[in-house]
Amino acid sequence: MNTLENGLNVTETVQKATLLPPFAYDCQPVARQGAENIPFGDLAKEQSRLQRMLRDEVLESMHKQLWYTGRKGNVSPLHHQKVIRREIILTERARLHLVWFDKTIYVQRLDDELLDWGYFSRVVCGDEAVYRAASGFLLSYTRLIEYPSDLEIAKTHGLVNKDIDWRKWQTFRGSVLHHLTYSSIPPRKATPFRLRARPSHCCARETRRLSFPAKQTICRIVARVQRVAFLLYNSLRLVNVSPL
Domain count, the chain: 2
Same domain, yes or no: 177 and 143: yes
pLDDT attached to residue 70: 61
Distance between CA 207 and CA 86 in Å, rounded?
32
- Cα(197)–Cα(111) distance, integer angstroms: 34
pTM value is: 0.67
Same-domain pairing of 142 and 211: no
- Give φ, ψ of 28 to 5 degrees: -65, 125
> Do both 120 and 209 map to the same domain?
no
| CA–CA distances in Å: residue 13 to residues 16, 32, 119 | 5, 26, 19
- Residue numbers of the domain that contains 214: 201-238
| Residue 149 counted as domain residue | yes
Written as tens digits, the pLDDT of the chain (244 aa) is 343 333 334 334 334 447 899 999 999 888 665 666 666 667 888 889 999 999 887 777 776 666 666 666 678 999 999 999 999 999 999 989 998 888 999 999 999 999 999 899 889 998 999 999 999 999 999 999 999 999 999 999 999 999 999 999 999 999 999 998 654 554 445 445 444 433 333 334 333 444 555 656 666 677 677 676 776 666 666 655 444 4
Sign of CA dihedral 28, 34, 40, 43: negative
Q: What is the pLDDT of residue 41?
A: 67
Q: Where are the beta strands (DSSP E) in the chain?
A: 4-5, 8-9, 87-91, 100-101, 104-108
Spatial CA neighbour of 105 closest among 126, 125, 119, 84: 84
The SS3 call for residue 187 is coil
Give the model's pLDDT for residue 102: 84
207 shares a domain with 180? no
Q: What's residue 95's pLDDT?
A: 87
Q: Is residue 196 part of a domain?
A: no
